[in-house]
Structure 1
């Protein structure tokens, strides 16, 4: 039986917010569990109860990983590859990352903001320079860095044809991955294909599009073509995990499972990266 997603959203908004997201099981004695760290922006960030149903794909990663895999999502709203470093967020990851861990690095949304020198990077020069700090830092800790091109926004022409919005940043990241022999998840390409397949109307149930009165957290409604509601975050996380054999503990059964409910996610009391 197919249940309308908006009906599910209303039911969730009226009940419990946090659901049965698998908390990591204790590691076996003497065997530290691998950790997946996420360095990124608002599209990947973990959101709080007050933000529900807004969610980032980093918040949804545990849905597709075994319970012995820990996820530390440091993705920060508004961050670029530069500002994340300048704010000390990369240092925080590098102080905790260990051999065998993985660092997912996904930027590009905010690097293009030419009017903001705190965030702007040039695709083929400073963007590369900052990304190399993540790659070199992870490798120095004997962890595995993975570059993730920025997830595509919801952009359609009047005729319903999707179009790309990130300029040269995805190509610059692909080039750096090839030059440095770094694993790459081409999330720009994967998400663009998914949005094109779904079309202008169906994608509204993936992005943060809500009618007035549909969610108590957005009483006047919201139209957001960049950020996701839970369903979209889950499906983008599926793209990320399915695309790379370098991510430890991939749960193949979950990856093959359709119709994962929104309450597979947990919304903590506060945004962890901002606390």
Structure 2
């Protein structure tokens, strides 16, 4: 098992920085690749940290002039990047598994806010378009958070609404494992204890 995640990256910047090239080169037939992006894809596209993607799941692209480098860059939709990861992994013989983003510690009317009309939805659509496995971690974790309630869930997070403490990470990981177990055709179940 190898974790190549890097804090603060989006589906776009993970590619822009060459990180995907290294991961993709190391993939072997039969490897399982878990793909999860979204929290940073909603950021600014060409200003500030310039890591955002075009909202949605289409094939649209647009050329933006980057504020810091003054260079033009083609930016695609969030779903386009997710589909690229899926296709590239398959070309290497790996099994791609798309995982929706976990919910943040944001609440409305006593329920945690879900991203089922944004990045969670687009992740699912991208997986379906490519025939990849999908784990709706957003729904699974949000259901758990709703059952726990705001006060208990807030204890799992650090000073912000996105990053969990160790206990929150363990909870999210256990829920991802539930998602893996629910995908009987994935072939990974025999390795999960």
- TM bucket by the smaller chain? 0.7 to 0.9
Per-residue CA deviations over 1:129-148 (Å, capped at 9, x if unaligned) read 21122111111111100000
Could you tell me how far apart the structure 1 residues matched to 2:114 and 2:127 are?
A: 20
**Residue number in structure 2 paired with 1:173:** 123
Per-residue CA deviations over 1:207-262 (Å, capped at 9, x if unaligned) read 22xxxxxxxxxxxxxx22211111111110111122124235111xxxxxxxxxxx
Larger radius of gyration: 1
> Of 227, 237, 255, which aligns to 2:173?
237
Query: Per the alignment, in what secondary structure is the counterpart of residue 236 of structure 1?
Result: helix
> Of 125, 132, 150, which aligns to 2:83?
132
Cα distance, 1:120 vs. partner? 1.4
Change in CA separation of 1:141 and 1:190 when aligned onto 2, cut-off 3 Å: same
Aligned 1:1-275 pairs, distance under 5 A: 71-116=1-46, 118-122=50-54, 123-125=56-58, 126-157=77-108, 159-164=109-114, 167-208=117-158, 223-244=159-180, 245=183, 246=186, 247=188, 249-251=191-193
Query: Per the alignment, in what secondary structure is the counterpart of residue 112 of structure 2?
Result: coil
TM-score, normalization by structure 2:
0.79
Could you tell me how far apart the structure 1 residues matched to 2:125 and 2:116 are?
A: 15
TM-score, normalization by structure 1:
0.57
Mapped contact 1:152–1:166 kept (Cα < 8 A): no
Query: Per the alignment, in what secondary structure is the counterpart of residue 51 of structure 2?
Result: coil
Could you tell me how far apart the structure 1 residues matched to 2:111 and 2:2 are?
A: 36
Change in CA separation of 1:109 and 1:148 when aligned onto 2, cut-off 3 Å: same
Runs of 4+ in 1 over 6 A off after TM superposition: none
- Which has the bigger relative contact order, CA under 8 A and spacing at least 6? 1
Mapped contact 1:81–1:111 kept (Cα < 8 A): yes
Give the number of equivalent residue pairs.
166
Stretches of structure 1 that go unaligned for 5 or more consecutive residues are 1-70, 209-222, 252-275
Cα distance, 1:162 vs. partner? 2.2
